[in-house]
Structure 1
Amino acid sequence: MSREQQDALSRTALGVFRLNGQFLAVSEKLAEPAGLTAAWWQVLGAVLPEPLPVAGIARVMGITRQSVQRIADLLVREGLAAYEPNPAHRRAKLLTPTEAGRAAIARIEPGHAELAAALVRELGGQEAFDETVRVLERLSAALEAVDR
């Protein structure tokens, strides 16, 4: 590995760590009025399209199953999500949002839309935003490929 490659890797890692912190901070701000944390929003958001087992949520989010389990249990206790039987696996129940959970997510939507529009403006248009997303997705896929 050349010094230039090492520097690029270090700058990328530092940039992603900073970006992660920025996303967590803005997510906390967006989620707070809905009575959620960023982590609760993240887990609820993962099961909006379809119920998933905790391990499946962890895989999609790239975090540990134990972290998701702790949050899922809190969401169930707060009435924002529920466990339902999983026809594919007797013990790995599916997490699904309740109506209260869906309503909480809906309360975040206006702020989420406002932030998206602001980022489009700041990045110079939708095409530039889409390219940013593609680059981040490529980086994630590349890291996954070399980490095998």
Structure 2
Amino acid sequence: MNGPPSPYPHGPMLTDAALTVYRLNGQFLALGDALARPAGITVAWWQVLSAVLGTPMSVAGIARLRGLTRQGVQRVADLLVDKGLAEYETNPAHRRAKLLCPTAAGRAAIEAIDPDLEAAADRVIGALGHEGLLEVVDALKRLSAALEFDPADLKSMP
């Protein structure tokens, strides 16, 4: 028996999207670990280091860019500095919020990942095609933008 239609038909679609993204996240973390480990870094270190390859950034800026907590990024950034993979430099825009930038060793660690990352990308493109992967990335970016709201705003009125 099917019964009457649900008054909430869209929730299951969003749940399916979330569960798919959670699985995808796990797959990306496993891939990232496999790629980063031979370079002597972790996925978390890679996430933070790659954010500052082009331009030094504050910890808060990295956290916003990567969708992470400032405290979590701060812990990783301090570890990267302790390991000699990054360093803090003065931030002309903010006296207390230093900028994180990679050292030569940090850049070398990221560059060591590149050949295997390219092989992984080639494998994915082999399955999806170049245009197919671009469409997936675009759809994920649109989904991320659509989720940019405060969940507290969803509370039902009494």
TM-score (norm 2): 0.90
Structure 1 residue aligned with 2:69: 64
Structure 1 residue aligned with 2:141: 137
Bigger-Rg structure (1/2):
2
Q: Percent identity?
A: 58
**Offset from partner CA, 1:21-62 (integer Å, 9 cap, x none):** 110111000000000000000000000010000000000001
Structure 2 residue aligned with 1:86: 91
- Gap regions ≥5 residues in structure 2: 1-5, 154-158
SS of alignment partner, residue 95 of structure 1: strand
- Gap regions ≥5 residues in structure 1: none
1:42 correspondence with 2:47 = yes
- Partners of 2:11 and 2:134 lie apart in 1 by 27
Q: How many residues align?
A: 147
Which amino acid is the alignment partner of residue 71 of structure 2? Answer: Q
Deviation at 1:4, TM superposition (A): 3.0
SS of alignment partner, residue 87 of structure 1: coil
Note the aligned Cα RMSD (angstroms): 1.3
SS of alignment partner, residue 100 of structure 2: strand
Matches for 1:19-34 after TM superposition, within 5 Å: 19-34=24-39
